[in-house]
Amino acid sequence: MKKIVLAATTMLLFAAAQLPAQADAGADWKALNAQVTALSRQGNYIGAIDIATQALQLAETSLNPNHPAVATSLNDLATLYKAQGQYAKAEPLFQRALTIRENALGPNHLEVADSLNGLAELLDDQSQYSKAEPLYQRALAIREKALGQDHPVVAQSLNDLGEMYSVQRIYTKAEPLYQRALAIREQAFGPNDQRVAQSLSSLALLYQNIGQYDKAEPMNQRALAIFENALGPNHPNVAVSLNNLAGLYRRQGQYAKAEPLWQRALTIREKALGPNHPDVAQSLNNLAELYSVQGQYAKAEPLYQRALTILEKTLGRNHPNVGMTLHNLGMLYGATSRVDEAAAMEQRAKTILAMQR
């Protein structure tokens, strides 16, 4: 069965651009952006989009429509649409933000690199790798030139490019990028920083995918230890590491090791993020898949159904993760001889996933 990818939910980081218009408009714009950040952290992307749209309208009416602050609001709104899988809405916003920044700031400005990276991620999510690659590479080149080859922001570009190659199974290109990102971060932040843990997790997943489990396991364990020591045992980033380690054990058929890790990840997320966050749905999906593969369908079904309810509410009925969950539930219905229910789920899943192509 297909399950939702074990990866950290991308945090929406809103640029600290100032709105140099009237004081009241600037304060209102900042307040709206604060609301967007809070809503996105709760997983309420639909609500966040509404507020981000208001922030964009305020920036456009208070400033020249080609001002860099408008590009910031465009970029933020595009990021939210991307998180919801509404790629057709996100792309023109990313494109317009990029154009504004290139014209206002010049082609080699760091904010241009940010727009390039956002647009590349959007294309990457849609498997348009030939379009995404030159954007990632241009963003990396801008950052290397502006900041130096060993700057932590460069490491993030290396990691992003590595992930694009990794998802295409071009591991010979991905591995050296991940390794370079890890070396930069260890040098810049020390061996126990959270950004080091991110690089360790990326490398561990690569080694897992090529069957080098003996390399993947200690990297995942080290990443988990870093997050626990830095953030405490109940932080959402700890749940991400638990998910990754559980996924490694699941890959090897070590179900008894995977189950308590995924259960702990679910508990952390429910407590830290609330019971209806998309990351909770991811944990529910992972546990349900684990039970399904062992034929424990009575345990799996209510978890899939709860995950589906959460995802439809927070991300919308046509998000690709909704499609994947429907597919998983359809497979379960098929395995339990509920042919009509299985067919209905699969048809809806296919319709949703076809929208992303």
Q: Is the pLDDT of residue 5 over 50?
A: no
Which are the contacts of 10, defined by CB distance < 8 A and separation ≥ 6?
83
For 151, the 3-state DSSP assignment is: coil
Other C-beta atoms lying within 10 Å of the C-beta of residue 336: 16
| Structure tokens, 317 | 């009925």
Q: How confident is the model at residue 356 (pLDDT cuts 50, 70, 90)?
A: low
Q: What is the pLDDT of residue 155?
A: 97
Q: Which residue, of 82, 105, 128, is where some domain finishes? A: 105
**Residues listed for the chain:** 357
Distance of CA 198 to the CA centre of its chain: 13
Q: Is the pLDDT of residue 357 over 70?
A: no
Computed over every residue of the chain, the mean pLDDT equals 90
For residue 96, being part of any structural domain is answered with yes
Q: Which residue, of 59, 89, 105, is where some domain finishes? A: 105
Please list, residue by residue across 178-216, b when 16 or more beta carbons sit within 10 angstroms of its beta carbon and e when fewer do. Answer: bbbbbebbbeeeeeebbbbbbbbbbbbbbbbeeeeeeeb
- Whole-number Cα distances in Å, 107 to 9, 104, 296: 30, 9, 56
What are the pLDDT digits (tens) for 32-88? 989 998 888 777 888 999 999 999 999 899 888 999 989 999 999 999 988 877 888
- Whole-number Cα distances in Å, 147 to 20, 66, 112, 155: 27, 26, 14, 11
Supply the range of the domain harboring residue 37.
Answer: 12-105
Q: Is the pLDDT of residue 307 over 50?
A: yes
Task: Please count the structural domains in the chain.
Answer: 2
Q: How much of the chain exceeds pLDDT 90, in percent?
A: 75
Give the best-scoring range by mean pLDDT among 8-22, 26-40, 253-267: 253-267
Which are the contacts of 22, defined by CB distance < 8 A and separation ≥ 6?
62
Check residue 8 and report its DSSP letter: P
Q: How confident is the model at residue 22 (pLDDT cuts 50, 70, 90)?
A: low
For residue 277, being part of any structural domain is answered with no
For residue 351, being part of any structural domain is answered with yes
| Structure tokens, 3 | 């399950």
Q: Is the pLDDT of residue 7 over 90?
A: no
CA–CA distance, 353 with 357 (Å, rounded to integer): 7
- Whole-number Cα distances in Å, 317 to 18, 299, 300: 35, 24, 21
For residue 280, being part of any structural domain is answered with no
Other C-beta atoms lying within 10 Å of the C-beta of residue 142: 22
For residue 95, being part of any structural domain is answered with yes
Check residue 21 and report its DSSP letter: S
For residue 25, being part of any structural domain is answered with yes
Cβ contact 233:196 at 8 Å: no
| Structure tokens, 39 | 């809503």
Q: How confident is the model at residue 351 (pLDDT cuts 50, 70, 90)?
A: very high
* Predicted TM-score (pTM) of this structure: 0.80
Find, among 82, 83, 103, 106, the residue nearest to 93 by Cα: 82
Find, among 338, 126, 303, the residue nearest to 346 by Cα: 338
Cβ contact 48:87 at 8 Å: no
H or E segment and range at residue 263 = helix 255-273
Q: Which residue, of 105, 125, 149, is where some domain finishes? A: 105
Other C-beta atoms lying within 10 Å of the C-beta of residue 102: 17
What are the pLDDT digits (tens) for 161-171? 999 999 999 99
Which are the contacts of 38, defined by CB distance < 8 A and separation ≥ 6?
none
CATH code at position 50: 1.25.40.10
Find, among 340, 321, 215, 278, the residue nearest to 2 by Cα: 321
What are the pLDDT digits (tens) for 183-236? 999 999 999 999 999 999 999 999 999 999 999 999 999 999 999 999 999 998
Q: How confident is the model at residue 334 (pLDDT cuts 50, 70, 90)?
A: very high
For residue 53, being part of any structural domain is answered with yes
- Bin 18: left if φ > 0, else alpha if -120 < ψ < 50, else beta: beta
For residue 85, being part of any structural domain is answered with yes
Q: What is the pLDDT of residue 11?
A: 37
Q: What is the pLDDT of residue 10?
A: 36
Q: How confident is the model at residue 350 (pLDDT cuts 50, 70, 90)?
A: very high
- Amino acid of residue 273: L
Q: Is the pLDDT of residue 9 over 70?
A: no
